[in-house]
Amino acid sequence: MHVIRIRATIAGVTPVLGGSIEWRPSRDQAEGSRLWSFIQRHGLRDLDELHRRSVSDPEWFWGAVIEELGLEFYEPMSRVLDTSRGVPWATWCVGGSLNIAHGCLDRWVATPLARKPALRWEGEEGRVRTLTYAELLRDVARCANGLRDLGIRRGDRVAVFMPMCPQLAVAFFAVIRIGGVVLPLFSGYGADAVAQRLNDAAARVLVTADGFLRRGRRVDMKRVADEAVSLAPGVERVVVAPRLADEPPAASDREVAWSALLAGRADTCEPEHTDAEDPLMLIYTSGTSGRPKGAVHTHCGFPVKTAQDMLHGFDVRSSDTVYWVTDMGWMMGPWLLLGSTLLGATTALYDGALDHPGPDRLWAFCERHGVSVLGVSPTLVRSLMPHGDGPVRAHDLTALRMFGSTGEPWDPDSWHWLFRTVGGSRLPIINYSGGTEVSGGLLVGNWLSPIKPCSFAGPPPGIDAAVVDESGRPLEGEVGELVVRAPWIGMTRGFWQDPERYLQTYWSRFPDTWVHGDWAVIDEDGAWFILGRSDDTIKVAGKRLGPAEVESVLLEHPAVVQALAFGVPDPLKGQTVVCLCVTRDPDAAPGDLSRELASLVADRLGKPLRPKVVAIVRDLPRTRNGKIMRRVARAAFLGDSVGDVTALENADVVAEISAAGQAGR
């Protein structure tokens, strides 16, 4: 296999980052894509010309996207973009009035899509429910009328702390419909984490559920909600939906049963005529320290960017069923709901563990619900690989036409397993990287560009991304900071009640340039790669090292199925490398393997970068959607406070990592 080698100044070494092209679109696939249709409609020659025009004339581009999406305004906008307050505070759809709930639901009910499934849901216990667009709009209207009767008005914050169930989608759209600001919360949070966000947002209402199932065990979500509300005096009412019981008993006078909220309400509810730049959603990022950052998103921002990425990157159309392994408290949850419905597609939701009752649960779900667009994380794929091909082969996955991936950098072995074993070397993996504050992707694949393992085609239209050095000069073939040099419609309108933190986080390095915090590189063929967070950089005796480089080396060893690398203080070198590895045989003697893995890293990356410790552990700390929490692992190893770990699916691993740290320090 031909290998592209890139000079990686981040480490002072030459790691292998790319390889040969594994997938190319057929002529029919390319010419039948929605991206190519958009290019032709606007009289452009190719994707390169579209991208150049999209970043040189953002008013034209985003206006064209809004037209393509068919958004309907109550009051037309006077212009698309206004940067008079400065680029970090750009405003969009100036003077326009629309409610995005109308664009997601109402406009479909007069079309044949009214009878098409908007949602297909399955619970871990096997319950299934389908809601058509007409049925979803009816339930949303009833819920919206109920919330209005509770006194919720335009601009009020309403938190949604629920598992991935149909009532969550109903509540989400209902809050938006009446002009409220929806606050989605991760279903695995503990009481302190929920209360912190409720207080910071000054939420008036919390919508929750009695509980959910996780590997056959009941998780008492209502107990967590009760404790959180006791710490959040501003919450006036708590709405409780039945996920496990028919009608959970009320614990206080301020509780409202879901059935009572909807009972007797009208089936119609006129959407609030919100301004295009009115807040739609307040979604918190976890942050590595300090209080979480509340990213503010608007009716014309997050949804438009989300749908544009789905359209131009993933080629989503109304015939698709889209399932992304996520939670509503993470960006990809709202991304899934808003983007799919704006395009008239079907959203698939699953509430439960994807390895219960067996390792084929994900593939069984995809088969039952005809999933055509499947979004996964590399960590999830790595956890499925040890079960072999059997669970995949047991199910008919012919409805699948593409994969999406986000959350972290790929390693080649897991990328190839998904591509070859699940996709039969036929289905593209549309790699996707951005974030909560971005409303989607800064880098993404598409249906016109060939794909190398682990790579991105580049920035999507409308994103003026570049890789730059420490002085802000563009780089090719060398690792640098991923930046964006112009505003885009989906960027957050700031952090909730903390404008200075927003400016300091993203806009303080270079003038009018968003610094995203990722290391990236562009190879000689124009393929882009993300190498990890720039704030995770390890610096050993003056040599800078990206964790993904170490982890990729470790994952080449046949015994290793997961790997995590980070830096720890060292009195001589400044920092040294620590690695945590999960192996195929957790009961094997770890000593010899640890030394072998340390030598492997030293041989591949250089003797000065030899890890101080390679600890064999049974698992790595991860969230429910598969994101590895590096900061938690590092803090546990060092014996520092790990902070709030309620977002973890497997918080018990913290003690094992702490023990490894005590042994290795």
Residues 390-420: tens digit of each pLDDT: 999 999 999 999 999 997 788 899 999 999 9
Q: Which two tokens stand for residue 385?
A: 């690989």
Residue 8 has pLDDT above 60, yes or no: no
**445-467: per-residue pLDDT in tens?**
999 999 999 999 999 999 999 99
Give the domain extent around 637.
537-664
Quote the pLDDT of residue 543. Answer: 65
11 domain-assigned: no
**631-641: per-residue pLDDT in tens?**
899 999 999 88
Which SS3 state, helix, strand or coil, does residue 280 take? strand
589 domain-assigned: yes
**143-184: per-residue pLDDT in tens?**
999 999 999 999 999 999 999 999 999 999 999 999 999 999
**589-605: per-residue pLDDT in tens?**
678 899 999 999 888 77
Average pLDDT for residues 504-509, to the nearest whole number? Answer: 95
CB atoms within 10 A of CB 246: 7
Residue 289 has pLDDT above 50, yes or no: no
127 domain-assigned: no
The residues, ordered by sequence, that sit 6+ positions from 426 with a Cβ below 8 Å of its Cβ are none
- The domain tally of the chain equals 1
18 domain-assigned: no
Q: Which two tokens stand for residue 235?
A: 């919450």
620 domain-assigned: yes
The residues, ordered by sequence, that sit 6+ positions from 188 with a Cβ below 8 Å of its Cβ are 327, 329, 623, 624, 646, 647, 648, 649
**601-619: per-residue pLDDT in tens?**
888 777 778 899 999 999 9
Angstrom distance (rounded) from CA 111 to CA 318: 12
- pLDDT band at 628; cut points 50, 70, 90: confident
Q: Which two tokens stand for residue 42?
A: 């606007």
CATH of residue 543 = 3.30.300.30
CB atoms within 10 A of CB 586: 12
Peptide bond into 611 cis (omega under 30): no
- pLDDT band at 362; cut points 50, 70, 90: very high
Angstrom distance (rounded) from CA 372 to CA 366: 8
154 domain-assigned: no
Q: Which residues of 440-463 are buried (b: 16+ CB within 10 A; e: fewer)?
A: bbbbbbbbbbbbbbbbbbbbbbbb
Alpha-carbon torsion angle 540, 542, 546, 547, nearest 10: 10
The residues, ordered by sequence, that sit 6+ positions from 601 with a Cβ below 8 Å of its Cβ are 550, 553, 554, 577, 579, 609, 610, 611, 614
Q: Which two tokens stand for residue 378?
A: 């590399």
Quote the pLDDT of residue 248. Answer: 67
567 domain-assigned: yes
Which of 152, 336, 162, 353 is CA-nearest to residue 240?
A: 162
157 domain-assigned: no
